[in-house]
Structure 1
Amino acid sequence: MKQSIIRYTLTAACLLGCAAQNFAQEKKTAFNHVALSVYDLQKSASFYEHVLQLDTIPEPFKIGKHKWFEIGPGLALHLVNDATEIIEHRRNTHVCFSVASMDEIVARLNKFGVVYYNVQQEVGKVGTRVDGVKQLYIQDPDGYWIEINNERMER
């Protein structure tokens, strides 16, 4: 009897500990989306859909001022049509997308006439980081900088 009570108590403590851990992880801050203010929603949406080949996802507002794209499992890019002008952005403030093939993305950029740079800002050049990852930089229609690389992130 005494061993049963101890066994049940330990089992309950383990279950409670697991539940508490899951509850705590649900309460952690997690990245959800990034929103960019754009001047011409259709032009920007076309860029992200056709050049970067991001998939659109439903957006709840349905007022013609937003376009949403999936950028990873449970992650989104929101384009918001509210910019009154296109302003200059610094390259060090950028988003980054990883691709399977740099050759394919370079071919697509060339097809769409998108200028790309390496980190030294040499036009039409792909750079290689010290860790061997290839990378390039482009700008979207609103001048936001985007890094594209072939880094494989282990999850």
Structure 2
Amino acid sequence: MKQFVLSGCLLFLALVGISINMNGQTKRYPSLNHMALYVVNLERSTIFYRDIIGLESMPEPFKDGRHSWFKVGDHAQVHIISGATQATTHDKNTHLCFSVPSMADFIKVLQANNVAFEDWPGKVGAINKRVDGVQQIYLRDPDGYWLEINDDKY
């Protein structure tokens, strides 16, 4: 009986210890805080990301006329920073991806603003469908950064 009580006490302490330890845990992996893009023309890029891509503007703390900040999640942002001397060429494999609720509605915005898009292989005006059924397109921002737009419902 004594051994049973001792085993029970040890099990209880182990469970309480695990519970306390689990409740005090911090994140086990890093989370995305922000992505910064260095651009030639802040006004043009701000208009693009706000009015074409549809990102939500947010106050930026510097108030120096060189930054625009956009909210892209509960704790994530895109920072646009002016000062680049020229737009650069980037490989499509290096891209930023946004999900939209309706690919058709998003494409209407692109077409109304004469913004070209393509599928992954590069066919202009085409949409590709991933093996999981998610539609995706690719386009470049004013500084040549590649963006993927998809309709993943996450």
TM-score, normalisation: structure 2: 0.86
Deviation at 1:127, TM superposition (A): 1.2
Measure the CA separation in 1 of the matches of 2:72 and 2:13. 41
Q: Which residue of the partner structure matches residue 54 of structure 1?
A: 55
Distance 1:81 1:136, change over 3 A: same
Percent identical: 38
Select the structure of larger CA radius of gyration.
2
Aligned to 1:98: 99
Q: Are positions 1:130 and 2:131 aligned together? A: yes
What SS is found at the alignment partner of 2:25?
helix
Structure 2: where are the runs of 5+ without partners? none
Corresponding position of 1:32: 33
Unaligned runs of 5+ in 1: none
Cα distance in 2 between the residues matched to 1:82 and 1:23: 43
Tell me the equivalent position of 2:110: 109
Partners in 1 of 2:23 and 2:123 — Cα distance?
48
Q: CA RMSD in A?
A: 2.1
Distance 2:113 2:23 in 1: 46
Once the two structures are TM-superposed, the CA of residue 130 in structure 1 deviates from its matched residue by 1.9
The CA distance in 1 between the partners of 2:70 and 2:29, in whole Å, is 24
How many residues matched? 147
Shift of the 112–18 alpha-carbon distance from structure 1 to 2, 3 Å rule, reads: farther
1:106: how far off? 0.5
Once the two structures are TM-superposed, the CA of residue 25 in structure 1 deviates from its matched residue by 2.0
Q: Structure 2: how far apart are the matches of 1:18 and 1:63?
A: 48
Per-residue displacement from partner, 1:83-105 (whole Å, max 9, x unpaired)? 11111111110010111111000
CA-CA distance at 1:23 after TM superposition = 4.0
* Counterparts of 1:36 and 1:137, CA distance in 2: 17
| SS of aligned partner of 1:147 | strand
After superposition, residues 62-81 of structure 1 pair within 5 angstroms as: 62-81=63-82
Aligned to 2:88: 87
Moved more, 60-69 or 124-133: 124-133
